[in-house]
């Protein structure tokens, strides 16, 4: 039984490895060519990466590592500016976390599939497409989504 599991894992990674390390564009054409299970797995990996990055940033803030490269902050104005920067960064991280916390990997994968079902969106890189999907999940209006898509169409038409 153990050999079957090992063989299955080997086959899975042998099949998966070329798609993980590929240098091709990760756009709608790539997304649509992937089986649904791989799409969801890709999103899970993305969410795990976001969680790890968030933890590193928060850990650095807590240790004051981000300010260690800054000049000696020996004035009240400098200290206030640095404190404001930390608060703004912390607020941005928490807003970003809330946006993703409200979604599952399946929801995001389905949103990407729906977005990429329109041929006009297939040239959009997956990283930019996720922003559109997350805005939609967060309740952005159709007009706001359309405006963002039009900007992306312009960007990728070049």
Residue 1 belongs to some domain of the structure: no
Could you list the residue range(s) of the whole structural domain that residue 72 is in?
A: 27-157
Tens digit of each residue's pLDDT (9 = 90 or more) over 70-113: 556 677 777 777 777 777 777 777 777 777 777 899 999 999 99
Q: Which of 102, 95, 70, 94 has the alpha carbon at shortest distance from 83?
A: 70
Residue 115 belongs to some domain of the structure: yes
Residue 92 belongs to some domain of the structure: yes
Residue 7 belongs to some domain of the structure: no
Residue 71 belongs to some domain of the structure: yes
What span, in angstroms and rounded, lies between the C-alpha atoms of 52 and 56? 6
Tens digit of each residue's pLDDT (9 = 90 or more) over 25-49: 899 999 999 999 999 999 999 888 8
Residue 11 belongs to some domain of the structure: no
Domain count across the chain:
1
Residue 14 belongs to some domain of the structure: no
């Amino acid at each position: 039984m153990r050999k079957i599991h090992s063989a299955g894992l080997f086959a899975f990674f042998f099949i998966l490895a070329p798609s993980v390390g590929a240098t091709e564009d990760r756009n709608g054409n790539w997304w649509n060519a992937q089986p649904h299970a791989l799409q969801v797995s890709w999103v899970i990996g993305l969410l795990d990466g976001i969680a790890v990055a968030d933890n590193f940033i928060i850990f650095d803030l807590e240790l004051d590592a981000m300010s260690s490269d800054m000049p000696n902050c020996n004035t009240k104005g400098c200290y206030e500016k640095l404190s404001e920067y930390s608060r703004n960064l912390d607020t941005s991280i928490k807003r970003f976390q809330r946006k993703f916390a409200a979604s599952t990997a399946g929801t995001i994968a389905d949103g990407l599939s729906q977005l990429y079902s329109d041929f006009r969106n297939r040239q959009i890189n997956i990283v930019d497409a996720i922003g559109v999907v997350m805005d939609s999940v967060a309740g952005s209006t159709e007009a706001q989504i359309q405006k963002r898509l039009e900007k992306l169409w312009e960007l990728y038409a070049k």
